[in-house]
Amino acid sequence: MPTNMRNTNAEPTPQMASAGVILNGRYLPPPADSDGKLWVRTSTLIHADPLALYERWRNLEKVPTWQEQIERVTVTGERTSHWVMRSGDKTMEWDSEILADEPGRRIAWRSIGGESENAGEVIFERSPGGRATMVTVLQEFRMAKLASAWETIVGRNPKQAIIENLRHFKALAETGEIPRTAGQPHGPRGTIAGVKKSLYGEKLPTPPGEDRKAG
Amino acid sequence: MKALCWMGTGKVEVHNVSDPSILNPHDAIIRVTRTAICGSDLHLFDGFIPTMEEGDVLGHEFMGIVEEVGSEVSNLKRDDRVVVPFTIACGNCEFCKKNIWSACDNTNPNAHLMEAAYGYSGSGLFGYSHMMGGYAGGQAQYVRVPFANIGPLKIENDLPDEKVLFLSDIFPTGYMAAENAQIQENDVVAVWGCGPVGQFAIASAFMFGAARVIAIDRYPERLELARSLGAVTVDYAEEDVSVLTALKDLTGGIGPDSCIDAVGMEAHSTQLQGMYDNVKTALMLETDRPVVLRQAIQAVRKGGTVSIPGVYGGLLDKVPFGAAFGKGITMKMGQTNMHSYMKPLLGRIEKGEIDPTYIISHRITLEEAPEMYKVWRDKQQKVTKIVIDPWA
């Protein structure tokens, strides 16, 4: 298209966007699962400053306040941390290393030993027109000991867990809390209540949100 | 406390359940002084809304007195009197900022269920299935209200509860239906369904300047209420009445400027197509019975507007989209953006422009509620609106 036909309101055509969403102005689909490696790419629009969102994500020891089933994160070095995940009575531990750390823009990481094999990045960028921040997570992982087929049925599918964690992150950033219903009153539940609870994704504890005790 | 629980299709019961408690910093606990049964509760009663669970506390129209507030609620205090909107909104997301409050991003803990069905999730609702958040409802003595910093409207006058209770849903819903109908001065508006939402849609259509409102229903008590507002009524069940012909006859042959479907997914019809939808929904080949929607699209004038406050949940069969395109109509719909309407409509009540109590036919206790769900579903005892005092 000749340049003089370009609408003056259009953004400059993005040549490359992070997380591989755009290349030379064209949308690219997320990477496909292969050889036991699973990919998730998910994004959300948050009304907050990219730098504030970066700082919230980068505050690793606070991760248990918004990520499901993460019991504890201990910072062990400038770029390293130790993660403990609990599902029911099982725990899983691994170490993680930050590969890229660009304040207000991007954090990339990978696991470096332990019981989980994962790598990922999170990108913070102004949405077109700049009214909010688009947060995109690209994560790859292999099924580990917690993610048996049964557990993905009764618990949270691990791909969905990444989507839910980003949703919790957004809710916490925009409102200061994560919506929850566990603990509210109800009448007698039926015989298949447990199955329904799993189906609705209500079996996992909602992360506690800010400045409250985990659990 | 005592609470009304959904126990299966066609079955609601009063149970003693635990009192609600503060679970999040923006929560409040309300002692419910008045609550009501909504026409859309009948969709739950009839099992038309998926993801209900035995034991769920029903009710999304309620008001009361603030009992306790969470650490981050500064606009309310104990003993404040409030009306609570049935949609829960955070006030800070993209959609709340655009005043599309019912599309709030941050209030449905089970958003993934709605995303699976609808692509995106709307806001959480009180007492209206797990897909809509799984929040316990207000047909109870106490209720937990999340995001109490945003939703509840303080009532600082001495109007009785009954006069302001319907700000919790049906008055704003009827009003938004009229607003969505894009009514111009001296328009002719047709309203299907003269239940509570239809009543407020009729009243609101006149507020927007409609010169004639045509009200369509089959129950004499509802049609009488509609006529009391100044509407012309059409009884679709009367022998020889064709709604489409009636609407031509009453508009000089051009059709109404705006059509409002205040019926929704469980429409009844005396015609063959009503039977067709009953069979298809029974066989689960269709989830909704869109008889009224079809009629509204057929009936509306060229370039007119169809507004849909009636609830639809799933897949609709044989919707005449060609007619919609051919006439170039506009369709507007959706859950009510409550937070935009409550305060201005309270103003209209305070000024005496409308007295919403005119629709109330029954005042009952919580214990009487299970029976009254049946009575209203079966359209007995001339029910127009049921209000519950959960402490009586």
CATH assignment of the domain containing A57: 3.30.530.20
pLDDT digits (tens, 9 = 90+) for B270-296: 777 777 777 777 766 677 788 999 999
Residue with tokens 């009192």: B19
| Statement to judge: residues B287 and B366 lie in one domain | no
Q: Does A15 touch chain B (CB under 8 A)?
A: no
Per-residue pLDDT at A210 exceeds 50: yes
| Statement to judge: residues B150 and B264 lie in one domain | no
Query: Computed from CA positions of residues A114, A118, A119, A123, in that sequence, does the dihedral angle turn out positive or negative?
Result: negative
Per-residue pLDDT at A6 exceeds 60: yes
How much is the average pLDDT of B244-255? 98
- The predicted pLDDT at position B85 comes to 98
Q: Does A189 touch chain B (CB under 8 A)?
A: yes
| Statement to judge: residues B192 and B317 lie in one domain | yes
| Statement to judge: residues B17 and B36 lie in one domain | yes
Min Cα–Cα distance to chain B from A114, Å: 30
- The predicted pLDDT at position B249 comes to 98
Q: Which band of pLDDT confidence, cut at 50, 70 and 90, is reported for residue A193?
A: confident
Q: How many CB pairs under 8 A join A and B?
A: 124
**Mean pLDDT, all residues of chain B:** 95
| Statement to judge: residues B226 and B323 lie in one domain | yes
| Statement to judge: residues B270 and B137 lie in one domain | no
Residue A60 in domain: yes
pTM of the model as a whole: 0.93
Per-residue pLDDT at A213 exceeds 50: no
CATH assignment of the domain containing B277: 3.40.50.720
Chain B residues with CB under 8 Å of A160 CB are 112
Nearest to B55 among A179, A186, A209 (CB): A186
Residue A160 in domain: yes
Per-residue pLDDT at B27 exceeds 60: yes
Distance CA A2, CA A49 (A): 36
| Statement to judge: residues B156 and B242 lie in one domain | no
- The predicted pLDDT at position A215 comes to 37
How much is the average pLDDT of B41-70? 95
- Give the pairing of strands B188-192 and B212-217: parallel
Chain A residues with CB under 8 Å of B54 CB are 187-190, 193
Query: In chain A, which residue's Cα lies nearest the Cα of B138?
Result: A185
Interchain pair A179, B18: CB under 8 A: no
How much is the average pLDDT of A156-173? 92
Q: What percent of chain A has pLDDT over 70?
A: 88
Per-residue pLDDT at B100 exceeds 90: yes
Query: In chain A, which residue's Cα lies nearest the Cα of B90?
Result: A175
Domain count, chain B: 2
The closest of A160, A134, A135, A137 to A147, measured between CA atoms, is A160
Interchain pair B55, A184: CB under 8 A: no
Residue A19 in domain: no
Chain B residues with CB under 8 Å of A208 CB are none
- The predicted pLDDT at position A145 comes to 57
Q: Which band of pLDDT confidence, cut at 50, 70 and 90, is reported for residue A8?
A: confident
How much is the average pLDDT of B148-153? 97
Distance CA B260, CA B267 (A): 13
Residue A10 in domain: no
How much is the average pLDDT of A117-142? 92
Interchain pair A187, B53: CB under 8 A: no
**Final residue belonging to a domain, choices B289, B308, B333:** B333
| Statement to judge: residues B134 and B274 lie in one domain | no
Residue A5 in domain: no
Q: Does A176 touch chain B (CB under 8 A)?
A: yes
B234 near B214, Cβ under 8 Å?
Answer: yes
Residue A70 in domain: yes
Domain count, chain A: 1
| Statement to judge: residues B54 and B37 lie in one domain | yes
Q: Which band of pLDDT confidence, cut at 50, 70 and 90, is reported for residue B171?
A: very high
pLDDT digits (tens, 9 = 90+) for B159-168: 999 999 999 9
| Statement to judge: residues B208 and B278 lie in one domain | yes
Taking each helix axis from N to C terminus, what angle separates B196-207 and B220-229, rounded to the nearest 10 degrees?
A: 20
Per-residue pLDDT at A89 exceeds 70: yes
- The predicted pLDDT at position B90 comes to 98
**Final residue belonging to a domain, choices B333, B351, B379:** B333
Q: Which band of pLDDT confidence, cut at 50, 70 and 90, is reported for residue A154?
A: low
Structural domain range at position B84 = 2-169+336-389
Min Cα–Cα distance to chain B from A170, Å: 8
Q: Which residue has the higher pLDDT, A22 or A14?
A: A22
Nearest to B94 among A47, A184, A189 (CB): A47
Min Cα–Cα distance to chain B from A175, Å: 7
Structural domain range at position A61 = 36-183+190-199
Distance CA B285, CA B116 (A): 19
Interface test with A, best of B1, B7, B54 (most A CBs within 10 A): B54
Residue type, B55: G
| Statement to judge: residues B312 and B371 lie in one domain | no
Interchain pair B20, A185: CB under 8 A: yes
The closest of B335, B271, B325, B285 to B302, measured between CA atoms, is B325
Interface test with B, best of A156, A181, A212 (most B CBs within 10 A): A181
Q: Which band of pLDDT confidence, cut at 50, 70 and 90, is reported for residue B2?
A: very high
Query: In chain B, which residue's Cα lies nearest the Cα of A44?
Result: B105
How much is the average pLDDT of B96-125? 95
Per-residue pLDDT at B331 exceeds 70: yes
Nearest to A160 among B90, B112, B130 (CB): B112
Interface test with A, best of B93, B110, B131 (most A CBs within 10 A): B93
Name the DSSP class of B51: S
Nearest to B90 among A175, A200, A212 (CB): A175
Residue A104 in domain: yes
Residue A144 in domain: yes
Query: In chain B, which residue's Cα lies nearest the Cα of A160?
Result: B112
- The predicted pLDDT at position B308 comes to 97
Taking each helix axis from N to C terminus, what angle separates B338-350 and B170-180, rounded to the nearest 10 degrees?
A: 110
Q: Which of residues 122-161 of A touch B (CB under 8 A)?
A: 132, 160
Q: What is the 3-state secondary structure (H, E, C) of chain A?
A: CCHHHCCCCCCCCCCECHHHCEECCEECCCCCCECCEEEEEEEEEECCCHHHHHHHHHCHHHHHHCCCCEEEEEECCCCEEEEEEEECCEEEEEEEEEEEEECCCEEEEEEEEECCCEEEEEEEEECCCCCCEEEEEEEEEECCCCCCHHHHHHCCCHHHHHHHHHHHHHHHHHHCCCCCCCCCCCCCCCCCHHHHHHHCCCCCCCCCCCCCCCC
Per-residue pLDDT at A132 exceeds 90: yes
Min Cα–Cα distance to chain B from A40, Å: 15
Per-residue pLDDT at A177 exceeds 90: yes
- The predicted pLDDT at position A214 comes to 39
| Statement to judge: residues B239 and B340 lie in one domain | no
Query: In chain B, which residue's Cα lies nearest the Cα of A157?
Result: B112
Distance CA B336, CA B351 (A): 23
Interchain pair A175, B92: CB under 8 A: yes
A161 near A205, Cβ under 8 Å?
Answer: no
Per-residue pLDDT at B111 exceeds 90: yes
Interchain pair A174, B124: CB under 8 A: no
Interchain pair A193, B105: CB under 8 A: no
